[in-house]
């Protein structure tokens, strides 16, 4: 049975082209890029070239503004703590209630350290209010951190607009965005629409590079201090011997992501729309979380399936060779259901039954057909077992 992998917002398959360009740096060109001998020129040159490639993919920016890190989580930590350290006179941070834990948890930590943190709420569509953002701005606002796109629902946030408003209000406000889910799915251009963004983070493994490598963009002139000290690498802004093969890999992955952006926006979107249309037509009492948001990632479908529990759905899907994920409490490892769906006020009956399908360029029609074939039966079988399902009338009863 062929595996149908539709959990691409969690991680992605490594592209063969990426693996290929990485190989020489594991074997032939393993030298420390900081070494003096001739042999070390090749890895040093590979990093320089990788940095240029990534800079080109992000809108033709100056490559010196890019740091390679170990993950998007590291990039987010470095971005936020670095901004806080560099601006000790300011004590207020604005973020949202639906950030990835690598931003949300830092927000809570900053509160514990005595800063004021505003977590902007979202409405039922998963969107934040620009008016609420404006009202939250203060004379001591240090940092604004809003993700470009949400990993669970795919709802996109108006980062360019928020950054412009923040900068027009006060040039000293630092604007950070977690772009992990946006790269390869939305245009990300730091010299045009995102020109007011100071710090931008993403990882390789969501764009078909390996796990364990990330990027942090730090705009020249941004008030920011390095987070990881102990070496001259990355001009002293991120110490530690460079992970050469992975840096080469993430650059290739960025290049492919830009090339495939049109495919993502058309063919992948078409697959998602087909799944959305057919599954909502075949399964009663199902809603699409974030459907009415103004902009949603083209690859993400978050279904609220009433009356059953997501972990049981995943288990059944897994038996059919389908890999997806859920915001259900039973799959979170913490007993708490998705903070994103809770912030959207999705009813509990549907949070526990949430199912996220996230596609990539490697998915095709046969994958969609398999899901459309098996999911309605899985849902019907589990609902027969549920005290919240009225089998006779085929509807939810609470």
Partner 1 sequence: MPWEYSDKVVQLFMDAVKGAAGTHMGEIEDPDGYGEHGSMVCGDTLRFTFRVEKHPTDPTRDIITQARYLTFGCTSAIASSEALCTLLEQERKTPIEALQVSNEDLVDFLGGLPEQKIHCSVMGAEALQSAVADWASKRGVDLAAIVPDKVHADEDEGRVVCKCYSVTEPYLRRKIRELGLRSIAEITHALKAGGGCTACHHEPGGLQDLLDEIWATSHETDDAGQATAAETHDTAGELSPFQLGRRIETVIDDSIRPMLREDNGDIELIDIKDNIVYCRLLEPPGGCPGGADRTRLIVERQLGEEVDDRIRVIAI
Task: Give the active site residues.
Answer: 330
User: Closer CB to partner 1, residue 162 or residue 179?
Assistant: 162
The half-sphere exposure of 352 on its side-chain side, counting CA atoms within 13 A, is 13
> How far is the first Cα of the chain from the last one, in angstroms, to the nearest whole number?
38
The half-sphere exposure of 292 on its side-chain side, counting CA atoms within 13 A, is 6
- Residue 328 · residue 354 · CB < 8 Å: yes
The site for partner 1 (CB under 8 A) is made up of 91, 111-116, 130-131, 134-135, 137-140, 161, 165, 168-169, 307-309, 311-312, 315-316, 318-319, 328-330, 333-337, 348-349, 352, 378, 381-382, 384-388, 398
Closest CA to 180 of 166, 161, 165, 200: 200
SS (H, E, C) 69-120: ECCHHHHHHHHHHHHHHHCCCCCEEEEECCCCHHHHHHHHHHHHCCCEEEEE
CB of 344 to partner 1, least distance (A): 16
Neighbours of 241 (CB within 10 A): 10
CB of 141 to partner 1, least distance (A): 10
CB of 334 to partner 1, least distance (A): 6
CA quadruple 372, 378, 384, 387: dihedral, nearest 10: -100
Burial of 109 (0-12, 13-18, 19+ CB in 10 A): middle
φ/ψ (deg, to 5) at 217 = -95, 130
Q: What is the DSSP track for 173-205?
A: -EEEEE-TTTBTTB---TTTTTTT--EEEEEST
CB of 168 to partner 1, least distance (A): 5
How many whole angstroms separate alpha carbon 50 and alpha carbon 99?
Answer: 29
């Amino acid at each position: 049975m062929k595996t149908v992998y539709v959990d691409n917002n969690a991680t992605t398959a490594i592209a063969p082209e990426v693996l290929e360009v990485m190989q020489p740096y594991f074997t032939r060109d393993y030298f420390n890029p900081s070494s003096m001998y001739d042999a070390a020129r090749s890895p040093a040159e590979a990093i320089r070239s990788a940095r240029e490639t990534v800079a080109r993919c992000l809108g033709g920016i100056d490559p010196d503004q890019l740091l390679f890190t170990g993950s998007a989580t590291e990039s987010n930590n470095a971005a936020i703590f670095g901004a806080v350290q560099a601006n000790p006179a300011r004590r207020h941070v604005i973020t949202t209630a639906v950030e990835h834990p690598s931003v949300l948890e830092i927000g809570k930590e900053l509160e514990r350290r005595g800063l004021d943190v505003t977590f902007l709420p979202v409405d039922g569509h998963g969107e934040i209010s620009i008016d609420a953002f404006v009202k939250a701005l203060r004379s001591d606002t240090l940092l604004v951190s809003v993700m470009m796109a949400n990993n669970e629902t795919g709802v996109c946030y108006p980062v360019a607009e928020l950054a412009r408003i923040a900068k027009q209000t006060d040039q000293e406000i630092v604007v950070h965005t977690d772009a992990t889910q946006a790269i390869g799915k939305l245009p990300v251009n730091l010299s045009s629409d995102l020109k007011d963004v100071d710090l931008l983070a993403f990882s390789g493994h969501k764009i078909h590079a390996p796990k364990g490598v990330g990027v942090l963009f730090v705009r020249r002139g941004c008030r920011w201090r390095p987070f990881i000290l102990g070496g001259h690498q990355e001009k002293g802004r991120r110490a530690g011997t460079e992970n050469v093969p992975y840096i080469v890999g993430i650059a290739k992955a960025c290049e492919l992501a830009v090339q495939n952006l049109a495919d993502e926006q058309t063919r992948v979107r078409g697959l998602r729309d087909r799944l959305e249309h057919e599954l909502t037509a075949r399964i009663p009492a199902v809603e699409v979380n974030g459907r009415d948001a103004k902009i949603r990632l083209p690859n993400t479908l978050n279904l609220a399936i009433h009356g059953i529990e997501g972990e049981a759905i995943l288990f059944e899907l897994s038996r059919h060779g389908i890999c997806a994920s859920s915001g259900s409490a039973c799959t979170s490892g913490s007993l708490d259901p998705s903070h994103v769906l809770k912030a959207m006020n999705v009813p509990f009956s549907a949070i526990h039954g949430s199912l996220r399908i996230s596609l990539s360029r490697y998915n095709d029609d046969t994958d969609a057909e398999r899901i459309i074939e098996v999911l309605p039966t899985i849902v019907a079988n589990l609902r027969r077992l549920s005290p919240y399902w009225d089998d006779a009338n085929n509807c939810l009863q609470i």
